[in-house]
Amino acid sequence: MKRQYYAWLFLVPNLVIFTIFVVTPALSSFYYALTDYDMIRFSGKFVGLANFRYLFGGTSDFGRVLLRTFMYSAMVVPIAFFTSLFLAVITSSDLIKGKAFLRALFYWPWLLSPSIIGVSWKWFLDYDAGLINILLLKNGASPIPWLLDRRLAFLSVVLVTVWNVAGYFMVMFNSALTAIPTEVYEAAALDGANRWVRFWKIIFPLLKPTAVLVLVLSTIMSMRSFEIIYVFTAGGPGTATTVLAQKIYYTAFLERKLGMASAMSVILFAILITLSLIQIRILEEEV
């Protein structure tokens, strides 16, 4: 009893904070999504599913933002997947020296604050004073409008996101690779399989549970991306890099439409919970 008492004594402060700042706002979103809440007067009237009907109607740009979010995720997920897998293979190979240093180097971007990442890359890619354009000018090339052109800005956001998360998923693949028994490698080598065949025909199938986990987690992370994009491009130029999380923020705190923003967050929650259920189903089938 004493052990349980002291355990709960240390857990209660964290549980209280978690309940106040995470659980309560999350549950409140379901209520506010059904209201036309006024953030100035702190009052609202019940409107039922009117917010959802407006979002999926022809007069709202929610559909375009949602499509852009899916496009962003569809680019980030495969690039991050294969990049992290490639980095994991490199840093797990016996042919590479300094593997510990390389792992730390590749993992380092994940440890940085999203605000620092956004500000740093915004400076690197600035049209007039950006480091990359300065180097291009010194080598006789023309500066590139990385953050002024809609397509280049979108691509820049994708690549910066991949740069941020690839090291995190690399660690997952590293753990899975080191868990494979050495006998598997030795048996494949004795059978005459080259490195390419050994990896894709033998090693990669054994990585399938980790690969599924990486795919689902990267999808969830990309669908709810906010900090880096907000600091990096603020959703611009125009709305070229505005994804669903930014749309929710702008609707709630700039347009002061808390009910509409809550409806968007409920839709995002439904998408994420669906992806989580898919993950659980696939992992259960693997087991």
**DSSP one-letter string for 5-71:** HHHHHHHHHHHHHHIIIIIHHHHHHHHHTTEEEETTTTEEEE-TTHHHHHHTSTT-SHHHHHHHHHH
The number of folded domains in the chain is 1
pLDDT of residue 272: 86
Q: What is the CATH number of the domain that holds 97?
A: 1.10.3720.10
Q: How far apart are CA 224 and CA 126, in angstroms?
A: 25
Q: Does residue 259 form part of some domain? A: yes
> Taking the CB of residue 53, how many other CB atoms lie within 10 A of it?
12
Q: Does residue 94 form part of some domain? A: yes
Q: Structure pTM?
A: 0.88
Q: How far apart are CA 195 and CA 28, in angstroms?
A: 54
pLDDT of residue 284: 66
pLDDT of residue 1: 64
Q: Does residue 37 form part of some domain? A: no
Q: Does residue 23 form part of some domain? A: no
Q: How far apart are CA 164 and CA 117, in angstroms?
A: 8
pLDDT of residue 179: 85
Q: What is the block-wise mean pLDDT of the chain (287 residues), using blocks of 10 residues? A: 79 92 89 85 82 85 92 95 94 82 93 93 92 92 92 95 96 90 73 74 84 89 92 91 93 89 93 82 66
Report residue 4 as tokens: 């349980």
Q: Does residue 192 form part of some domain? A: yes
Residue range(s) defining the domain that contains residue 132: 61-285
3-state SS assignment for residue 139: coil
